[in-house]
Structure 1
Amino acid sequence: MATEIYIVRHGETMFNQLNKVQGWCDSPLTVKGINDLKVTANALSQVHFDNMYSSDLKRAIDTVHLMKDANQVSEIGKIKKLPEFREVFFGSFEGDDIEETWNEVALAAGIGPQTDVTKIINQVGIYEFREATKKADPRHLAENKKELDERMVRAINVLHDLTKNEKRVLIVSHGDFIKTLAIKYWNQSDGLHDIVFPNNGSVTRGIIRDNGDFEIVDYNVNAEDM
């Protein structure tokens, strides 16, 4: 049985608002973030889900509970938290100013001063961007392409095992992780260049088939438009 996966990006957080790097570090949802999520939750309130899952970071957990509480047609028990669906890890840059961080990454990539992450990725490619982030990190802890790719594959395998008897589930994850999934599994991405960053509260829809193959079929959609 194939399983339909609704992947929701968490709501806006304090670090999003303050323009700080936010990967495995966490910050609370803002009032705007909560209000935007209520719109998503209301739009999905009549969609039946067999289960709901979440990254183990608090901003994702808070988001999934908003989805659960608003849903009128699903009986969801305890939310299972999946660390495999955490945001990309930015190592020593966690919590730093985002423009200063991207400038250091650009320098490590050999392209000179640049604070626009989209321009950096489009110039050097997403894979070199990951390598440059790890190189620029003083402790070299940031995830590179290989580490992130292995975690994505592990995440899909874990979800496949959990959802074998479920027709439709919702999972809350994070912007860069969802974008990276799309680069790998969405047929409209060429896998090399940047694609638009998913909006807070947006829905990306995928299918996990019986054999474990995963495909994204809708990306960064406003839940009201689904």
Structure 2
Amino acid sequence: MATEVYFVRHGETMFNQLNKVQGWCDSPLTVKGINDLKITAQALSQVHFDDMYSSDLKRAIDTVHLMKAANQVSEIGKIKKLPEFREVFFGSFEGDDIEGTWKQIALAAGIGPETDVTKIINQVGIYEFREATKKADPRHLAENKKELDERMVRAISVLHELAVGDKRILLVSHGDFIKTLAIKYWNQSDGLHDIIFPNNGSVTRGILHENGDFEIVDYNVDAENM
């Protein structure tokens, strides 16, 4: 039996509001973030889920509990936290000013002091952007394309094992991670170039097939339009 997976991006956080790099580092949801999530939670309140999961970062955990509390048709027990679905790791840049970080990455990619991440990726491609991030990181801890791809494959494998027998599940993850999943598994992506960044509280829907294959079928959708 195939399992339908509703990926929800966490709500806006303090670091989102302050334009700081936020990967594995964490910051609390803002009032706006919570209010926006309440709209998503209400829109999904009549959707039955067999289980709910989140990444192990607090902004995702807080988000999934809002989804659980609002749902009127599901009986969800303890929510399992999955570190495999954490945000992309930006290494030494975690918590830094976001435009200053993009500038350093652009310089490492050889294109000059650009601060618009979309323009950087459009020029060098998403894979070279990942490599430049690791190169620019003074400690070279940031995830590159290979490391992130291996983690995504591992994440889907873990989810496949957990979801056996489930018809539909909800999983709260993060913007860059969900976007990278879509680049790899969405048939409307060519797998090479960047796509739009998902909104806070948006829903991306995937199908996890019984044989372990995975595909994205809807991306960055307002929950009210599901």
TM-score range, shorter chain: over 0.9
**SS in structure 2 opposite 1:6?**
strand
* Per-residue deviation, 1:165: 1.1
Corresponding residue of 2:107: 107
1:56-113 Cα deviation digits (max 9, x unpaired): 0000000000000000000000000000000000000000000000000000000001
Corresponding residue of 1:20: 20
**SS in structure 1 opposite 2:151?**
helix
Say whether 1:96 aligns with 2:78: no
Say whether 1:72 aligns with 2:65: no
TM-score in terms of structure 1 length:
1.00
CA RMSD for the aligned pairs? 0.3
**SS in structure 2 opposite 1:42?**
helix
Corresponding residue of 2:179: 179
1:9-59 Cα deviation digits (max 9, x unpaired): 000000000000000000000000000000000000000000000000000
Say whether 1:118 aligns with 2:96: no
1:151-195 Cα deviation digits (max 9, x unpaired): 000000000000011000000000000000000000001112111
**SS in structure 2 opposite 1:141?**
coil
**SS in structure 2 opposite 1:200?**
coil
Corresponding residue of 1:167: 167
1:122-155 Cα deviation digits (max 9, x unpaired): 1000000000000000000000000000000000
Corresponding residue of 1:192: 192
* Per-residue deviation, 1:211: 0.5
Point out where structure 2 has 5 or more consecutive residues left out of the alignment: none
Say whether 1:147 aligns with 2:147: yes
- Most deviating of 196-205 and 184-193: 184-193
Corresponding residue of 2:212: 212
Question: Matches of residues 32-51 of structure 1 in structure 2 within 5 Å?
Answer: 32-51=32-51
Point out where structure 1 has 5 or more consecutive residues left out of the alignment: none
- The letter for the 1-side match of 2:105 is V
- Displaced runs of 4+ in structure 1, greater than 2 A? none
Distance, in Å, in 1 between the alignment partners of 2:40 and 2:211 is 31
